[in-house]
Structure 1
Amino acid sequence: MISLWQAHVSFAMILFLVLPSFGLNKAWRLALLIALLAASFIPLDGLTLAAYLRSHIDDLAITSLVFMMWGCLRRLDVLPPAQHGQTRVLILFAAMALVLYPATLGLSDLDPYRLGYSPRPLLIFVALLTLGLFYLRNGLAVVMLASATLAFVAGIKPSHNYWDYLIDPLLGLYCCLALLMLATRWAYRWLMTLRSPMANKSV
């Protein structure tokens, strides 16, 4: 039951974040989010739209749900605009994805996914990481990691592997692409700052 509701909520939040705002005010944006949640129950070939999407992306990690919820609250103007701490979130979960998924694809002899079934060392590491991020006042990362850990302890997902609460391919891919775009923008600005003094000298 929880997985089904998670699929409907994920469907609504993903589309809400992907679609443009269309210049709508706060009330109409909230109405759009509710309408997308209602649309997730529309049947298609015997499956609801949410279940159809779930068949392609599987159940998302708890961290992804928290991250998307944060994005939705920002678009609804409930939370302030993103600050610099978001980059740490991108780096953290991109690093998790790069550690986990190449190994699961057979590109490494190590198998970090197996640690998720007996996750005491992993739980301790994540707890220390959460404390460090709390010290750095990165509230988003703290809430994401703490929510994933509490959900794992409560066993709210069908999976018994801690990794499935921490990271999923969609979140990992998003963080990697977002970091690549940030690095490209930084490199472009750096090149422009190098070119501007040269242009002034030529004049």
Structure 2
Amino acid sequence: MISNTILSWPFATLVTALVMASIVLRLLRIRQLHVGLPLVVILVLVALLPMPWGPGMWARSYLGEFSISMGLLAVMFMQHRLGSPWYLPTSELRALNVLIVATAAWFYPMSLGLTYLDPYGLGFGDFRFSTALLLVGLAAWVMRAYGICLMLVAAQCAFALRLLPSDNLWDYLLDPWLTAWSLGWLVRDYLLTRKARRTPVAAAA
């Protein structure tokens, strides 16, 4: 097997670069595919430069490691924002973010000692944990929640190849920044949906 060190550091920096590119895309309010796509490519290439030139390694030093799920969510966000023909619909993004927030609401209190159960320990290769993820993936596939399926499969494949520095599957699935991002997206989605519902009523009045 290829050494963990050889693959983990550049791949982890790539995940960070994708997250940084999605944030810049949002801050600049770019929605045109022909403008946004070249910009994303340039930002990712710049972020992948080694220290001290590339911002990707600096971001990892100060913010910590992002999960595979965070990288995928950043890509989904960019696709959705730029109107790519193969982006996930809003309903699937909503379901994906709800699952992330709900999982984090259970996982972090348990891992911090709320009970004697330590879910983080299950991430080192516990068969029960892998079975539970398989069942969640099957349920998502039946419900056609393909974003959830993609995230679960990608995280477990990356874990099998040890593409991140961590040896725990949870670090491939979840991280605090991902939770904050998903929660913020859900709040924004709720406010926009509420505003859209009020607009026809106001117009009719």
Do they superpose with TM above 0.5?
Answer: yes
Amino acid across the alignment from 1:4: W
Using the alignment, how far apart are the partners of 2:194 and 2:115 within structure 1? 31
Q: Which of 33, 58, 63 is matched with 2:69 structurally?
A: 63
Percent identity over the alignment is 23
Aligned residues: 195
Provide, for residues 75-129 of structure 1, a one-character-per-residue CA deviation record: whole Å limited to 9, x for no partner. Answer: 2624246231221101111112111222334455432111112421111011011
In structure 1, what is the equivalent of residue 139 of structure 2? 132
Q: Structure 1 32/76 Cα, relative in aligned 2: closer, same or farther at 3 Å?
A: farther
- Check if 1:27 corresponds to 2:34: yes
Higher-Rg structure is: 1
Task: Please list, as runs of the form range in 1=range in 2, the aligned pairs for 1:64-79 lying within 5 A after superposition.
Answer: 64-74=70-80, 75=82, 77-79=84-86
Using the alignment, how far apart are the partners of 1:39 and 1:33 within structure 2? 10
Q: SS at the partner of 2:73?
A: helix
In structure 1, what is the equivalent of residue 151 of structure 2? 144
Using the alignment, how far apart are the partners of 2:83 and 2:194 within structure 1? 32
- Over the aligned positions, Cα root-mean-square deviation in angstroms equals 3.0
Unaligned 5+ runs, structure 1: none
Q: Structure 1 41/178 Cα, relative in aligned 2: closer, same or farther at 3 Å?
A: closer
Bigger shift: residues 34-43 or 89-98: 34-43
Shift of 1:144: 0.5
Using the alignment, how far apart are the partners of 1:43 and 1:181 within structure 2? 35
Shift of 1:189: 6.8
Bigger shift: residues 156-165 or 16-25: 16-25
Task: Please list, as runs of the form range in 1=range in 2, the aligned pairs for 1:47-126 lying within 5 A after superposition.
Answer: 48-74=54-80, 75=82, 77-80=84-87, 82-126=89-133
| Alignment TM-score, normalising by the size of structure 2 | 0.78
Bigger shift: residues 71-80 or 90-99: 71-80
Q: Structure 1 131/42 Cα, relative in aligned 2: closer, same or farther at 3 Å?
A: closer
| Alignment TM-score, normalising by the size of structure 1 | 0.79
Unaligned 5+ runs, structure 2: 1-5
